[in-house]
Protein backbone atom coordinates (compact mmCIF):
# COMPACT_ATOMS: atom_id res chain seq x y z
CA UNK A 1 0.00 0.00 0.00
CA UNK A 2 1.32 3.43 -0.87
CA UNK A 3 2.62 5.50 2.02
CA UNK A 4 -0.05 8.16 1.53
CA UNK A 5 -2.83 5.57 1.45
CA UNK A 6 -1.37 3.90 4.50
CA UNK A 7 -1.23 7.20 6.41
CA UNK A 8 -4.83 8.06 5.46
CA UNK A 9 -5.86 4.54 6.45
CA UNK A 10 -4.09 4.82 9.80
CA UNK A 11 -5.62 8.20 10.71
CA UNK A 12 -9.08 7.15 9.50
CA UNK A 13 -9.17 4.06 11.70
CA UNK A 14 -7.75 5.84 14.74
CA UNK A 15 -10.76 8.20 14.47
CA UNK A 16 -13.23 5.45 13.57
CA UNK A 17 -12.09 3.31 16.51
CA UNK A 18 -13.64 5.89 18.84
CA UNK A 19 -16.35 7.25 16.58
CA UNK A 20 -18.12 4.02 15.61
CA UNK A 21 -18.61 2.58 19.13
CA UNK A 22 -19.55 6.08 20.35
CA UNK A 23 -22.30 6.36 17.73
CA UNK A 24 -23.73 2.97 18.65
CA UNK A 25 -23.59 3.61 22.41
CA UNK A 26 -25.05 7.12 22.11
CA UNK A 27 -27.90 5.88 19.96
CA UNK A 28 -28.65 3.19 22.52
CA UNK A 29 -28.61 5.74 25.35
CA UNK A 30 -31.02 8.02 23.45
CA UNK A 31 -33.55 5.31 22.76
CA UNK A 32 -37.08 6.04 23.89
CA UNK A 33 -37.73 3.98 26.98
CA UNK A 34 -40.91 3.14 28.85
CA UNK A 35 -44.34 2.77 27.32
CA UNK A 36 -44.30 4.03 23.77
CA UNK A 37 -47.56 2.71 22.49
CA UNK A 38 -50.32 5.21 21.82
CA UNK A 39 -53.37 4.94 24.06
CA UNK A 40 -56.25 3.06 22.57
CA UNK A 41 -58.72 5.24 20.74
CA UNK A 42 -62.26 4.91 21.92
CA UNK A 43 -64.40 4.69 18.83
CA UNK A 44 -67.75 4.88 20.56
CA UNK A 45 -68.93 5.90 24.01
CA UNK A 46 -69.44 3.00 26.37
CA UNK A 47 -72.99 1.85 26.68
Partner 1 sequence: MTERYVPVGWNVTKLVYDAVALAVIGIYISVFLWVAPAFQHVTLPLDDYAMRMNAFGTCAFLLLSLILSIGPATRLDPRFLPLLYNRRHLGVLTAAVAVTHAYAALDWYFSYGLYDRFEMLLRGNTSFLQVHGFPFELFGIFALLILLLLATTSHDFWLRFLTPRVWKTLHMSLYAAYLSVILHISFGALQVAQNPLLAAVVLLCVVGVAVLHVAASRRPVTTPITDGWLYAGAVDAIEEDHGIVITPPDAAEPIAIFRHAGHLSAVTNLCAHQNGPLAEGRVIDGCITCPWHGYQYRLDDGRAPPPYEEALATFRLHIIDGHVWIDPVPNIPGTFVAPVAVP
Instruction: Please give the residue ranges that form the binding site for partner 1 (CB under 8 A).
Output: 1-3, 5-6, 8-10, 12-14, 16-17, 19-21, 23-28, 30-32, 37
Helices (H) and strands (E) in the chain — how many of each? Answer: 1, 0
Closest distance of CB 45 from partner 1, Å: 27
35 vs 45 by CB, closer to partner 1: 35
32 vs 40 by CB, closer to partner 1: 32
Distance of CA 6 to the CA centre of its chain: 29
How far apart are the C-alpha atoms of 47 and 45, rounded to whole Å?
A: 6
Amino acid sequence: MRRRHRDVHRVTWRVMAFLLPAIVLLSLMMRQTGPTEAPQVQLAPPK
